[in-house]
Amino acid sequence: MAVSNQTPAVRSAPPGFERILLRRLPAAGLFGSVVAAIPSLFTRLLAWTGLDTDATTRILTADIFGLSTLLLLWATIVTLATGAVILTVMKGPAYYADSYPLDDADRPDGP
């Protein structure tokens, strides 16, 4: 889009919470992924040391818990990022398309 297509006398809004959110989402995703993996790693450690008698069931339960937490986290991050990007685009400058005057918009030509 050319700069000439910007709507005159329209100011773009200053950046707000959406920019902060977009900057923090990668770190939140990484930290949340590590936290979601901790139960699976801990149950495998207990099974490896021999302290757990029913290791297979506990490992499977921890894996299901960790995977469901991870999928919920990623879905939430994608949703928040989509909303923040939409809000960032909406706060930008306004543009208009090529406007053409209508010949008979309000009063058609009479005979």
pLDDT digits (tens, 9 = 90+) for 81-95: 999 999 888 887 776
Output 69 or 58, whichever has higher pLDDT: 69
Q: Answer whether residue 8 is part of any domain.
A: no
Q: Residue 39 in contact with residue 68, Cβ under 8 Å? A: no
Q: Residue 93 in contact with residue 12, Cβ under 8 Å? A: yes
Please determine, for residue 46, whether its predicted confidence score (pLDDT) is greater than 70.
yes
Q: How many domains does the chain have?
A: 1
| CA gap 43, 54 in Å, rounded | 11
pLDDT digits (tens, 9 = 90+) for 7-30: 666 666 677 899 999 999 999 999
Domain range enclosing 29: 15-90
pLDDT digits (tens, 9 = 90+) for 61-83: 999 999 999 999 999 999 999 99
pTM over 0.75: no
Q: Answer whether residue 109 is part of any domain.
A: no
